[in-house]
Amino acid sequence: MGSLFDELKKANLINEKDAKRIQHEKRVSNKKKGGARGEREEEAKRRAEFEKRKKEEAEENRRRAEQAKAQLTEKERFARLKNLVEGAVFKERWNGPRRFHFVARSREILALEVDPGIGRKLESGELAICELPDQKPEQFVLIKGQSVAKIRELDESLVRFYGPDFGPSARE
């Protein structure tokens, strides 16, 4: 440290009196801290705090990565679900005079107007009533019955009516 003070003196940034005062203050504070042992303890304390902060940051980063992974998984699941439902939509004409009732997720009893042939297909399980995912207000479509199991694997609540669930064996 003497060389630093020498350099500061040469640059006329401090004078001899200030240099001595600074060195004296340093010695006094060092003595209050416990000398070299106090410096080592202070350094150990700083290291421990640094390690603690480092662990907390690592934990926070891990938590954020886990959260991002969960969000990505949910987005992928939703995209798969949407593709499944859209791919299974019954595209033929189905409007008719028969009112086919079912219960929506909101617990309301709704009705679709279908022709009698489509009504029989709904009752037999060839077709099902499904809610389109992430639609506000709720929108419903007819889907092919063979897709019901795949859709239920991802979100059981989307299938609002499936004939075999209400057949004679399901009532017993």
Q: Give the separation between CA 96 and CA 37, rounded to whole angstroms.
A: 92
Question: How far is Cα 107 from Cα 160, in angstroms, rounded to an integer?
Answer: 11
Lowest mean pLDDT segment, chosen from 18-27, 63-72, 116-125, 163-172:
163-172
Q: How far is CA 135 from the centre of its chain?
A: 20
Residue type present at position 84 = L
pLDDT of residue 55: 95
Q: Could you tell me which residue, 160 or 56, shows the higher pLDDT?
A: 56
Two structure tokens written together for 133: 């995912």
Residue-wise pLDDT tens digits, 114-124: 888 888 888 88
Residue 169 has pLDDT above 50, yes or no: no
pLDDT on residue 2:
57
Read off the pLDDT of residues 98-116 as tens digits, 9 standing for 90 and up.
888 888 888 888 888 888 8
Strand, helix or coil for residue 132: coil
Rounded CA gap, 162 and 140, in Å? 13
The number of angstroms, rounded, from the C-alpha of 115 to the middle of its chain's C-alpha atoms is 43
User: Could you tell me the pTM of the whole model?
Assistant: 0.56
Between 2-10 and 16-33, two packed helices, what is the crossing angle to 10 degrees? 150
Between 58 and 131, the higher pLDDT residue: 58
| pLDDT for 12 | 74
| pLDDT for the residue 5 | 67
Q: What percent of the chain has pLDDT over 70?
A: 91
CB-based burial of residue 128 (10 Å sphere; 0-12 exposed, 13-18 middle, 19+ buried)? buried
